[in-house]
């Protein structure tokens, strides 16, 4: 079991690099690998899709921990999050330097004028502080604020899926799939939060009940207690 | 619907280059050296478009552009042909066993000659020519393609359209058994397109049966497709089974699916962006990873030939 735990991280790391290596093999047209007739689009869409995949994978880790009872998923969460940033940064690089040939003015025009690019860019910019504060030291230093900051991933994932949805010409099946996956992952969190809130109020009710049973005269003061 | 014999249909094609005459002259010449029979039968075989293999055609320099054509591999593996799937690589995989024979085309509406015709009879009178055209997709990528076919106008005139024929509508085959994409309601099937009659009669508008000198691959729209090089690619309907002459503008598939994004005219126009992306530039495929985007030309570079068709029209309104 300990061996599994020790091997898990390097194995996951290698697996996370597979899409990038496949695309690199395509760039060099290695036997069996091809980017097709439009290699720029293939890289652009490939990196974008994997950035989204890793965002959703990252969001799977907490439910997975709750469900399995193991803390292993939490140990991988940061790596998956950083790979989301890695593929998103590659996506931007391909867009700026290959699709737009490094023409910054053209990129800026797109960002300002094309809403789907605007929201994609916002999502990517929001990822930067999360990547920068992903170290254990930042976690310690920021304390509770770290948790609050890293809730940004919910907004980023929504913007990312929206960015994908908005540029599809007609066949929305794939972005719809991402949107459903994201809805389940975010819905799970809302449900947990409600359940927790319900547990707290149930506990509170029980407490009041007990107090009433012990001393009926104290009920008035208890109930008006804010 | 009245069935027209091939002979009837051919009568109306007198203005077309008489390919058979050319072939029979060749046969006569050949006869002088004693191989008349072989020449004549050989000629007759070549006049028909085969289901696969090499085509007999002439090169048309007048209507061809000088740009370097894309490779056959690129042209035949990167296709927007939703009837066979929405991924660009889907059609090459899913159209492999598509049956292009027997094939018939139904012609109707405001014309004197209507009915259902065998593909062979549709194609027979038309000498084939190769034209190298630019192809610009509404998604802002482009290719250069050596099509083999014949002018659409030559075909349409054979049906003697009446004065009511202001528009012509085209339909793709509806066969979900063979076309898996048609089982998914991504678009309204069958795919429908249309042209104003003067656009259809323009010498650049072409019915295509071949690519790179050979019969058109299934994924490129075999056995019979339209090519209108100054319009976005979605106007150039594939696997045509219906031609209908109409008095009013026909509804078309993409314009119906998203009226704010795709219009009936769909002329290539760098000045009118798609609501979600720019049309000012395009990526010419085949240039590799570092090829810069190139400027998109009005009417895809065919402005000299076709801009006059739209004189006085507000191109922002009629996009």
Give the confidence band of A217 by pLDDT, cuts at 50, 70, 90. Answer: low
Chain A residue closest in CA terms to B184: A171
- Domains identified in chain A, total number: 2
B33-42 pLDDT tens trace: 333 333 332 3
Residues A160 and A219 reside in one and the same domain: no
Residues A120 and A89 reside in one and the same domain: yes
B293 and chain A: CB distance < 8 Å anywhere? yes
Q: Who wins on pLDDT, A214 or B256? A: B256
- The stretch A169-184 carries a mean pLDDT of 95
Give the confidence band of B193 by pLDDT, cuts at 50, 70, 90. Answer: very high
A128-171 pLDDT tens trace: 999 999 999 999 999 999 999 999 999 999 999 999 999 998 89
A contacts of B272 (beta carbons < 8 Å): none
* Assigned domain for A177 exists: no
B170 phi and psi, to 5 degrees?
-125, 150
CA-closest candidate to residue B76, choices B214, B208, B218: B218
Residues A222, A83: Cα–Cα separation, whole Å: 51
B72 and chain A: CB distance < 8 Å anywhere? no
pLDDT greater than 90 at residue B15: no
B89 and chain A: CB distance < 8 Å anywhere? yes
- The distance of A36 to chain B (nearest Cα, Å) reads 7
Residue at which a domain ends, from A143, A167, A191 = A167
Residues A140 and A211 reside in one and the same domain: no
B49-96 pLDDT tens trace: 888 899 999 999 999 999 999 999 999 999 999 999 999 999 999 999
Residues A193 and A218 reside in one and the same domain: yes
Residue A110 has a CB neighbour count (10 Å cut-off) of 21
Residues A187, A176: Cα–Cα separation, whole Å: 16
* Assigned domain for A172 exists: no
Residues A127 and A195 reside in one and the same domain: no
In this complex, how many residue pairs, one in chain A and one in chain B, have their CB atoms less than 8 Å apart? 60
The pLDDT of residue A224: 44
Mean pLDDT of chain B: 88
A24 phi and psi, to 5 degrees?
-65, -40
A50-97 pLDDT tens trace: 999 999 999 999 999 999 999 999 999 999 999 999 999 999 999 999
* Assigned domain for A85 exists: yes
Residues A107, A138: Cα–Cα separation, whole Å: 33
B105-163 pLDDT tens trace: 999 999 999 999 999 999 999 999 999 999 999 999 999 999 999 999 999 999 999 99
Q: Who wins on pLDDT, B221 or B43? A: B221
Residues A135 and A201 reside in one and the same domain: no
Residues A204 and A141 reside in one and the same domain: no
B contacts of A27 (beta carbons < 8 Å): 289
Q: Among A111-120, A151-160, B4-13, B98-107, where is mean pLDDT lowest?
A: B4-13
A35-51 pLDDT tens trace: 999 999 999 999 999 99
- The distance of A176 to chain B (nearest Cα, Å) reads 13
B33 and chain A: CB distance < 8 Å anywhere? no
Beta bridge partners of B102: none
- In the CATH hierarchy, which top-level class contains the domain B55-310? alpha beta
3-class DSSP state for residue B229?
A: coil
B148 phi and psi, to 5 degrees?
-120, 130
Residues A20, B266: Cα–Cα separation, whole Å: 38
Q: Who wins on pLDDT, A103 or B47? A: A103
Q: Among A97-111, A142-156, A203-217, B227-241, where is mean pLDDT lowest?
A: A203-217
pLDDT greater than 60 at residue B29: no
Give the confidence band of A208 by pLDDT, cuts at 50, 70, 90. Answer: confident
Residues A126 and A211 reside in one and the same domain: no
pLDDT greater than 50 at residue B12: no
Quick check: A124 and A94 in contact, CB under 8 A?
Answer: no
Chain center to CA of B75: 15
A10-26 pLDDT tens trace: 999 999 999 999 999 99
B264-310 pLDDT tens trace: 999 999 999 999 999 999 999 999 999 999 999 999 999 999 999 99
* Assigned domain for A200 exists: yes
Q: What is the pTM of this model?
A: 0.85
Partner-chain contact B289 A100, CB within 8 Å: no
Residue A188 has a CB neighbour count (10 Å cut-off) of 16
> Which strands, in side-by-side order, build the sheet including B115-118?
B115-118, B104-109, B240-246, B167-172, B192-196
B77 and chain A: CB distance < 8 Å anywhere? yes
pLDDT greater than 90 at residue A102: yes
Partner-chain contact B283 A98, CB within 8 Å: no
Q: At what angle do helices A152-167 and A173-214 cross, to 10 degrees?
A: 150
DSSP letter at A96 equals: I
* Assigned domain for A218 exists: yes
Residue at which a domain ends, from A121, A143, A167 = A167
Give the confidence band of A105 by pLDDT, cuts at 50, 70, 90. Answer: very high
Residues A117 and A199 reside in one and the same domain: no
Chain center to CA of A51: 9
Distance from first CA to last CA of chain A, Å, rounded?
50
Structural domain span for residue A208 = 182-226
Q: DSSP states of B51-117 as a string?
A: SSSB---EE-STT---SPPPPHHHHHHS---GGG-SSTTHHHHHTTT---SS-EEEEEESBSS-EEE
Partner-chain contact A37 B285, CB within 8 Å: yes
Most A CBs within 10 Å: which of B77, B79, B285, as the mutation test of the A interface? Answer: B285
B235 phi and psi, to 5 degrees?
-75, -25
Quick check: B289 and B220 in contact, CB under 8 A?
Answer: no
B141 and chain A: CB distance < 8 Å anywhere? yes
Please list, in sequence order, all residues whose beta carbon lies within 8 angstroms of the beta carbon of residue B312, skipping any fewer than 6 positions away: none
Residues B263, B233: Cα–Cα separation, whole Å: 13
Residues A116 and A226 reside in one and the same domain: no
Residues A6 and A96 reside in one and the same domain: yes
DSSP letter at B183 equals: G
* Cα-Cα-Cα-Cα dihedral sign, residues B16, B17, B19, B25: positive
Residues A6 and A36 reside in one and the same domain: yes
Alpha helices in chain A (DSSP H): 2-27, 39-68, 72-93, 104-113, 115-132, 136-142, 144-150, 152-167, 173-214, 219-224
Residues of A near B (Cβ–Cβ under 8 Å) read 27, 36-41, 43, 98-101, 106, 109-110, 113-116, 166-167, 169-171, 173
Q: Among A28-32, A137-141, A201-205, where is mean pLDDT lowest?
A: A201-205
Give the confidence band of B9 by pLDDT, cuts at 50, 70, 90. Answer: very low
Q: Among B3-7, B168-172, B186-190, B203-207, where is mean pLDDT lowest?
A: B3-7
């Amino acid at each position: 079991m300990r061996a599994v735990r020790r091997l898990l991280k390097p194995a996951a790391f290698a697996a996370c690099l597979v899409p990038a290596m496949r695309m690199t093999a395509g760039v060099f047209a290695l036997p069996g690998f091809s980017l097709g007739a439009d290699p720029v689009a293939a890289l652009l869409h490939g990196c974008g899709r994997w950035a989204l995949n890793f965002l959703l994978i990252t969001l799977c880790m907490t439910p997975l921990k709750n469900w399995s009872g193991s803390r292993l998923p939490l140990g991988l969460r940061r790596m998956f999050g950083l790979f989301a940033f890695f593929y998103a940064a590659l996506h931007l690089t391909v867009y700026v330097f290959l699709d737009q040939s490094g023409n910054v003015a053209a990129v800026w025009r797109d960002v300002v004028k094309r809403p789907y690019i605007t929201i994609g860019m916002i999502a990517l910019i929001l990822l930067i502080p999360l990547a920068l504060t992903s170290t254990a030291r930042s976690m310690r230093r920021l304390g509770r604020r770290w948790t609050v900051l890293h809730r940004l991933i919910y907004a980023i994932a929504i913007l990312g899926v929206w960015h994908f949805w908005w540029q599809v010409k007609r066949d929305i099946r794939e972005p719809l799939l991402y949107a459903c996956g994201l809805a389940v992952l975010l819905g799970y969190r809302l449900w947990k939060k409600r359940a927790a809130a319900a547990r707290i109020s149930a506990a509170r009710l029980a407490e009041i009940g007990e107090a009433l049973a012990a001393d009926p005269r104290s009920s008035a003061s208890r109930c008006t207690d804010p | 619907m009245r069935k027209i014999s091939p002979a009837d249909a051919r009568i109306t094609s007198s203005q077309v280059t008489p390919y058979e005459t050319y072939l029979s002259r060749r046969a006569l010449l050949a006869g002088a050296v004693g191989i008349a029979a072989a020449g004549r039968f050989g000629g007759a075989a070549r006049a028909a478009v085969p289901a696969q293999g090499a085509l007999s055609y002439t090169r048309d320099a007048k209507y061809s552009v000088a740009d370097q054509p894309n490779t056959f591999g690129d042209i035949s593996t990167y296709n927007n042909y939703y009837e066979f799937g929405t991924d660009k690589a889907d059609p090459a995989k899913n159209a492999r066993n598509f049956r292009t024979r027997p094939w018939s085309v139904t012609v109707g509406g405001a014309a004197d000659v209507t009915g259902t015709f065998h593909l062979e009879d549709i194609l027979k009178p038309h000498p084939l020519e190769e034209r190298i055209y630019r192809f610009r997709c509404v998604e802002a990528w482009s290719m250069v393609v050596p099509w083999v076919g014949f002018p659409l106008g030559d075909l349409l005139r054979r049906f003697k359209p009446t004065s009511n024929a202001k528009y012509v509508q085209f339909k793709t085959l509806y066969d979900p058994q063979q076309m898996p994409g048609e089982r998914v309601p991504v678009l309204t099937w069958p795919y429908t397109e249309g042209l104003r009659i003067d656009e259809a009669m323009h010498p650049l508008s072409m019915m295509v049966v071949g690519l790179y000198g050979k019969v058109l691959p299934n994924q490129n729209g075999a056995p019979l497709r339209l090519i209108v090089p100054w319009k976005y690619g979605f106007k150039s309907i594939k696997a045509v089974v219906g031609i209908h002459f109409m008095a009013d503008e026909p509804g078309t598939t993409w314009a119906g699916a998203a009226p704010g994004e795709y219009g009936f005219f769909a002329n290539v126009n760098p000045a009118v962006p798609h609501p979600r992306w720019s049309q000012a530039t395009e990526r010419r495929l085949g240039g590799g990873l570092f090829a810069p985007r190139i400027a998109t030309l009005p009417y895809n570079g065919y402005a000299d030939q076709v801009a006059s068709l739209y004189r006085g029209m507000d191109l922002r309104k009629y996009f």
